[in-house]
Structure 1
Amino acid sequence: MKNKTKTLAALILSCSLLTVSSASAFSDVQGQDSEVIKSLQSQNIIQGITKDKFAPQGKLTTVQGIHLVVKALQLKPKQDSEPKKGAPWYSESVQIAKDNDIPVDLASNPSAELTKEQFAHILYKGIRATGNYPLIKMYIKVADESDGNPEYQGSIQNLLLSKITTLDSKLNFHPKQKITRIEAAVMVYKAIQFVNSHKENQTGEQQEVTFTSEKVNDGVNKIVLSRGMQPNPGYGIHINKIEFKDEANAVVYYELTSPKPGMVYPQVITESKAETYISSQYKVEIAPSK
């Protein structure tokens, strides 16, 4: 009976990434991590093992990790095909991963637990499958890099540069440590943000620009325009001109810029802003340059 209970618990954990339920708070996830999990849960990307438990310190198997990356990044197969009758639940995700040049050799042992470096490699390959992104010519020192597999070092470096993963206070990545469900969830959440921000810029979609007015003194206000968080400094915003329509109203015209072809930018996610100063007698509006 004890063995049957353990087997059932393992089955629930292994299938929890497939469960669909409404987003709700988990009692075992707190703080900022709770918001990350709620966001992923609302998108049916990752779920709890029960209604109110996420098991953040639980481990991911190789097939769970592949399935999570495929689902989170919405990767597609090369051609539509029906899963074979009686095939394991993860077979479709493994095939999609293979179609997108994600290494799936780890799936040969579906019950094996993923290490941090293995999941980082799968996730980075998944990100690359979604589009072509700038290659960053920088190196971040990782204190325990020699402990890991050299094959995965490039993937880890790229995830570090993209702020999708981080090092601890001693600059260690712990490549051989088993990755937890919460660690994988946070990395996937940041990967989705990274991909979405690039796709918005690549497709030329109009981005929302906001502004704030800050009092400098009784006669002058500082106007700060923002286009939000961007994946690198190549995505900028510039103020082209200020039009004073009358004695009480002014319009600040702005232009959005994109990375220049051939340029290499540090992959640092920062807020893109521009500012100017206007007399406090004016009510300010903003508009894109024509």
Structure 2
Amino acid sequence: MRIKQTLTAMAAVCLLSVSLGSTIFANGSEFKDISSSVAKDQIMSLKDRNLVKGVTATEFQPQAKLSNAQGVQLIASGLQLSLAAIDFNKAPRASDLFSNVNDKAWFAEAFINAHYNGVDIPKDMDPSKSMTKEEFTYYLMGGLEKVGNLPMVKIAPTPITDNGDMNSMYEGSIQRSLLWKINSLDGAQNFNPKRNITREEAAIMLYNALEYLKAHLQS
């Protein structure tokens, strides 16, 4: 694999910045099941930019648990991860990178794009299993920091009541997500890291991540 010198990280970020501010195309159908969702506005904003898709053409299923396959797809699509800046001797195959991902699966391309854009996905990830809040945070932040070329910063950690329940590998990403207002704690200052994240919660986090990236690019 050889990184193309003609496409710099800054250029890629600028392209993303432009796309975030415009609608790629408007879908004719609307989600019929998000009227009472706390993430209605965020979901529709992402849908209008063609950055998220529903489970069906008219259902987003906001309260459903997010599967690993859906989580990786959401991150890859939402951050517009691609292989545009990379040369390969031969086309990469998902099955060469992940033991449980079939090359013909609808999410195979998302796994490939995420992998080559800095998202640290386990090689043995089971696409059918539900993704936890801490896992989605870790993968989303990894993609965001790579795409935005964001510097690693030293921060004063936010006190989290259930900090002991976290996977220590994810703690830094979680803390940065709180600092950048991509995530938030509940009323008891819990993060609930091991809870399976819902599709609407993931949509809110993706929306917040894109808002942060847009603000970072403009600063």
Q: Give the alignment's TM-score, normalised by structure 2.
A: 0.74
- 1:108 equivalent to 2:114? Answer no
Shift of 1:136: 4.5
Q: State the partner residue of 1:154.
A: 172
Larger Rg: 1
**Structure 2: stretches of 5+ with no match in the other structure:** 1-25, 94-101
Cα distance between partner residues in 2 of 1:44 and 1:83: 25
1:190 and 1:146 map into 2 onto residues whose CA distance is 25
Q: Give how far 1:130 is off.
A: 1.0
Matches within 5 A, 1:1-290: 21-22=27-28, 24=30, 26-30=32-36, 33-77=39-83, 78-79=86-87, 87-105=104-122, 108-134=125-151, 135-201=153-219
Quickly say closer, same or farther: Cα 1:170–1:43, change in 2 above 3 A.
same
**Which structure carries more relative contact order (alpha carbon 8 Å, separation 6+)?**
2
1:160 positional shift: 0.4
Letter in 2 for 1:193: E
CA distance in 1, matches of 2:59, 2:82: 30
Question: Matched residues in 2 for 1:115 and 1:21: separation?
Answer: 30
TM-score (norm 1): 0.57
Contact 1:136–1:161 (Cα < 8 Å) also in 2: no
Going by fraction, where is helix more abundant, 1 or 2? 2
Change (3 A) 1:101 1:86: closer
Q: Could you tell me whether the CA contact under 8 Å between 1:56 and 1:181 is conserved in 2?
A: yes
- CA contact 1:73–1:127 (8 Å) conserved in 2: yes
Residue 99 of structure 1 deviates from its aligned partner by 1.0
Task: Supply the AA of the counterpart residue of 1:57.
Answer: Q
Query: Alpha carbon RMSD of aligned pairs, Å?
Result: 2.4
Q: Residues of 2 paired with 1:87 and 1:52: CA distance?
A: 25
C-alpha deviation, 1:125, in angstroms: 0.2
- Tell me how far 1:154 sits from its aligned partner: 0.6
For structure 1, which runs of at least 5 residues remain unmatched after alignment? 1-19, 202-290
Percentage of identical aligned residues: 34
Closer, same or farther: CA 23–125 of 1 in aligned 2, 3 Å: farther
Q: Secondary structure at the match of 1:108?
A: coil
| Structure (1 or 2) with the greater strand fraction | 1
Could you tell me how far 1:124 is from its partner in structure 2? 0.6
Taking the aligned partners of 1:98 and 1:184, their CA distance within structure 2 comes to: 19
